Each structure stands twice: as structure tokens, then as C-alpha cells.
Amino acid sequence: MEGVSPFFILPLLVLFSCLSLATTNQLYTDEFPLLAFKSLITSDPSNILKKNWTAGTSVCTWFGVTCDSPHNRVTHLDLSDMGLGGSIPPEIGNLSFLVSLNLSGNSLHGYLPKEVCSYNNLPRLKELQLSNNTLEGEIPLSLGECPQLEILALSYNNFVGHVPAQIGNITSLKRLRIYDNNLKGTIPKEIGLLNKLELMRLGFNELSGAIPNEVGNMTSLSDLSLSNNSLSGPIPSTIGNLSNLKHLVLRFNKLNGNLKILKYLNLSHNTLMGHIPSSLGNLSELESLDLSTNKLDGEIPSELTRLTFLAKLNLSINNLVGQIPRSNQFSTFENDSYMRNLGLCGLPLTRKCKDENGPTINPADEKSNNLSFMQEVGISMAFGFIFGFWGVIGSFLLKKSWRFAFFNFFDDVGDWLYVMGLMLVSKWGRT
């Protein structure tokens, strides 16, 4: 058999050399923005970046970096919960194959660079998690140019300004968390364009104005929290269109109007007035109902006894009157569900109604008795409040990082499962 012609071997050598050079250039392409990020890190408690992120070595071996096998390009950068201090460089936008960026749980400060997603940067980005840092300035309008973004988490930072209307352009978005910042202004009506959005949490800001009717267009929404803002006006009736909604939290606002919805309904600490709508009895899947600390009056509708899945009820601190229903789930609720409604009577309260056996207790007399009782146990309750509230609940309100750790644990679990699913789907698609 004759030897292989050198004219055949030479083109192969050239081809292999080109492929090797291309792979090396690709690695250096991603090395530059990563080293730019490292150069702006001023605090690295574990010295991982200093020891592991070394120029001239493959970035695919660096801590927190994941590359894809076909192209050897950086697809995932996860440096969460490392206590890093510093800022985010604009060069981060040059990681053109990046799918997931997670820098949450650090002490990063400064502005979020506008280069994230602008000018067709990061076209593959699906997850941007920067929660629990000290980032400041306005949320970049360029985020509206992230064509494939599915998770946007900017909570527990110091962002100011408005919620950008451009977020409505991210039609692929499924999870939006920007609570616990210093955002003001209204919720943009463009938010209603996010018909794939499943979770939206904008609480603990300074948002004002009305909840836009367009929220009712977000038909995939299952979790909506707008608590602890200054929202006002009626609750949009269009929320009733959200057939997948299971978790709604609107507490600590200035809302009014009618009620309508789901499995978890919390409208406490508002200024709701009038009677409790009997139509709530049609929410056959409702498991938790909290209407406490409002100005509701009238009787408790008997239709609520149709809520056979109801496990938690709080109607306290209103102006409700009449006999408490006792059938179905209502036979399981204790005094705490009805406290400070002086016109209510019947079990589980000690106040009997006029048509029951025994003397009727006058609400004014019971109020006097309650005051006397409170005086007797005042000292105990004072100590209980000081050590209970400020020692536990107060910590969450005053210690931002603790509040983040508690609530973000559940968010991270959901996001981890979601991202793992994306990675598996991507892996199967390549095989």
C-alpha cells in the first residue's frame, strides 16, 4: 500500500491548526471580561478569584465558570454568596454566550452597567440574578433588550427611579423580583405585555398610584406581591381574569374596592370598606383568607362556609357584626380569627347572640372587661412584645440581609430547579 500523499496531510494540519487557534481565541475572548470583573473586586474573603482566576489558564476551569462543550465558551457565571465587594464592569456584556449570571448575596456596589443587553450584548442571557447587594442608580433601560431573559432578580439593593416600562419588552420573562429597593412612581401598564410571567414581586418599595388594569392580561401569573408600597385606588377587577393566580399579597397599601380571587388572599392593612362580598364563597379552592385591619362592616356572609378547603381565616380588627357561621370549616377557627370586632357574637367567642340561651353580653360591657383584663396582663404583654416582636419580627424589618436570607431561600430553591431544567433541556438538545 502506497504512503499517504503529503498533499493530503498538509491541508489537514492547516485545518487542525486553525481549529486550535479558533478555540484559543474564543477562550481569550471570554477571559478579558472575566479578568476585568476580577480587577474591580476589592474584597474577596476566601481569595478564590485571586488564587483560581489566573490569566493564561482555561477560563472553563475557573471557579464559578461553566462552559459549553461544542464551543468552549462561558455560558454560566455563578459567584453567589461569596461576600465579594466591588463593582460590575461594562465588559461583562462581552460574554456573548452567557446564559446565566448569578452574583447575588455579595456586597457589590455602584451602577448596573447599561452594557448588559444593550447593543445586542448577551443575546442568550436567560437568568440575571443580582439580589442582596448594594447596587444603586436606576435600573438600566437596556434590560428591555434582553430577548431571551426569563429570570430577573434585583431585590434587596438600593435601586432608585421608576420601574422601567421597557421591561414590558421582555416577553420571555417568567420571574420578576425587584422588591426591597427605593423605587418610586407607578407600575407601568406595559407590564401587562408579559403574558408568560409566572411570578412578580414589587413589594417593599415606594410605588404609588393605581394598579394598572393591564395586570389582568398576565394570564400565566400565579404569584403576585405588591405589598408595602403606597398604591391607592380600587383593586382592578381584571385580576379576576388571572385563572392561574394562587398567591396574592397586597397588604400595607392604600387600596380600596371589591375583592375577588384564588388559593391565598391577603388584603390586610388596607382601607377596604363595606360588606365582605358573598361572591368570595365561589372561590372553591381558597385555603387562606386574611382581611384583617380594614374597615369592613356587616355580617360574615354564610356563603363563606362553602370554602371547604379554607384552613386559615383572619377577619380581626374590622367592624363586623352578627352571628359567626359555624358550619364546615368555620367550626375549626378560634377566637383570634375574629378579635376586635365588637359586634360579632356566637362561638367561638364568649359573647352570646340574642337568640341563644343565656344572657346577651353587651359589647360595651365586654369592651370594659377586655380593658380590665388588659390592664392585669399589661406588663406581661409589654415584655412579650419587646422580646417577641423586636427580637424576631423586628429583625426581619430592620435587618435587610436577614430578611433576604429568610425569603430568598424559597426563591432560590425554585430558581435552582428551574435553571437545572433549562440546563438539562439544553444538554439533551445537543446530544
The residue with cell 445586542 is: 120
Nearest Cα to 272, choosing from 306, 296, 251? 296
What is the pLDDT, as a whole number, of residue 415?
A: 58
**pLDDT over 70 for what percent of the chain?**
74
Mean local confidence (pLDDT), 336-341: 90
For residue 30, is it within any domain? no
Domain that holds residue 273: 269-277+286-361
Q: Please name the residue that has the C-alpha cell 461583562.
A: 92
Cα dihedral 235, 236, 237, 243 sign: negative
pLDDT at 247: 82
Tell me, what amino acid is at 310? L
- Which residues, in sequence order, are bridge partners of residue 323? 345
Cis peptide before 277 (omega within 30 of 0): no
- Indicate the number of domains in the chain: 1
Residue 27, in any domain of the structure: no
> Any idea which of 112-121, 188-197, 265-274 has the lowest mean pLDDT?
265-274
The CATH number that applies at residue 317 is: 3.80.10.10
Q: Are 94 and 116 in contact (CB under 8 A)?
A: no
**pLDDT of 132-177, one tens digit each?**
999 999 999 999 999 899 999 999 999 999 999 999 999 999 999 9
Q: Largest Cα–Cα distance of the chain, in whole Å?
A: 117
Per-residue pLDDT at 9: 57
In a domain, 372, yes or no: no
Of the candidates 330, 320, 239, the one whose C-alpha atom is nearest the C-alpha of residue 272 is 320
pLDDT of 208 over the 60 cut? yes
Mean pLDDT calculated for residue range 215-234: 94
Residue 334 lies in a domain: yes
Residue 396 has pLDDT above 70, yes or no: no
* Type of residue found at 296: L
Q: Please tell me the pTM assigned to this model.
A: 0.68
Residue 282 region, left (φ>0) first, then alpha (ψ -120 to 50), else beta? alpha
pLDDT of residue 112 exceeding 90: yes
pLDDT of residue 22: 41
285-328 pLDDT, tens digit per residue, is 888 888 998 989 999 999 999 998 899 999 999 999 999 998 88
Instruction: Tell the residue number behind the cell numbers 422588591, with chain if given.
Output: 179
Is 295 inside a domain boundary?
Answer: yes
Q: Name the band, by pLDDT with cuts 50, 70 and 90, for residue 430.
A: very low
In this prediction, residue 20 carries a pLDDT of: 42
Identify the band that residue 382 occupies on the pLDDT scale cut at 50, 70 and 90: very low
Q: Are strands 312-314 and 295-298 parallel, antiparallel or unpaired?
A: unpaired
Average pLDDT, the chain: 81
Q: How many CB atoms lie within 10 A of CB 118?
A: 18
> With 80 as the cut, is the pLDDT of residue 8 above it?
no
- For residue 268, the model assigns a pLDDT of 83
Full 3-state SS string of 344-402: EECCCCCCCCCCCCCCCCCHHHHHHHHHHHHHHCHHHHHHHHHHHHHHHHHHHHHCHHH
The residue with greater pLDDT, 397 or 73, is 73
Q: Is the pLDDT of residue 52 over 90?
A: yes
Cell of 165: 416600562
Residue 146, in any domain of the structure? no
* Residue 393 domain flag: no
Instruction: Point out which residues pair with 129 in neighbouring strands.
Output: 102, 153
235-281 tens-digit pLDDT: 887 887 787 887 888 989 998 865 544 677 877 887 788 899 887 88
Q: Which pLDDT belongs to residue 373?
A: 38
For residue 253, give the nearest of 323, 315, 189, 187 by alpha carbon. Answer: 187
pLDDT, mean of residues 70-90: 95
Note the pLDDT of residue 413.
55
Judge contact between 230 and 207, C-beta under 8 A. Answer: yes
